[in-house]
Amino acid sequence: MVKNYVHPYLGILFMNHANSFRDLVVYQKAYSLVTQIFYKTMKFPLEEKYSLTDQIRRSSRSITSNIAEAWSREKYLKVFVNKLTIALGEEYETEVWLDYSRDCKYITDELHDQLMSGYDEVRKILISISNNPDKWCL
């Protein structure tokens, strides 16, 4: 049986009520952010299509896909943590691409700050879960 876990930033996350990775708060937050990034990057210059646009979309999508993969490996502690570690690496990479996007004036400072705040939450949750995998794995 999966135990309930009290997250230091979000309170209680009821894992035993999660039927899918889609029920996880960290997945929902990351998915919302990737959707915002997708629509915003549609307005990036064409010359960035195979560079910045592709990279930021890829890294931000990879966060959610690795969370989903981690969920499917919850019976295997090391694999579970590995997938979360990969998601965390992609989160950091996404932050770098957001910095470039702001510095190149493709996104506003306000949007950059909003997205970075969201990714800060995602990062903290991923780190917390990775540091306490026994509370998440079967």
- DSSP-derived secondary structure letter, 5: E
Per-residue model confidence (pLDDT) at position 8: 54
Per-residue model confidence (pLDDT) at position 14: 45
- The model carries a pTM of 0.85
Do 57 and 37 form a contact (C-beta atoms < 8 A)?
A: yes
Per-residue model confidence (pLDDT) at position 23: 86
**CATH, residue 82:** 1.20.1440.60
Local confidence pLDDT in tens for the 138 residues of the chain: 445 555 554 444 545 556 788 888 999 999 999 999 999 999 999 999 999 999 999 999 999 999 999 988 888 889 999 999 999 999 999 999 999 999 999 999 999 999 999 999 999 999 999 998 887 765
66-75 core/surface letters (b: 16 or more CB in 10 A; e: else) = bbbbbbebbe
Do 60 and 95 form a contact (C-beta atoms < 8 A)?
A: no
Per-residue model confidence (pLDDT) at position 96: 98
Per-residue model confidence (pLDDT) at position 1: 40
Q: Which domain holds residue 66?
A: 5-135
Per-residue model confidence (pLDDT) at position 12: 43
What is the count of structural domains for the chain?
Answer: 1
Per-residue model confidence (pLDDT) at position 17: 55
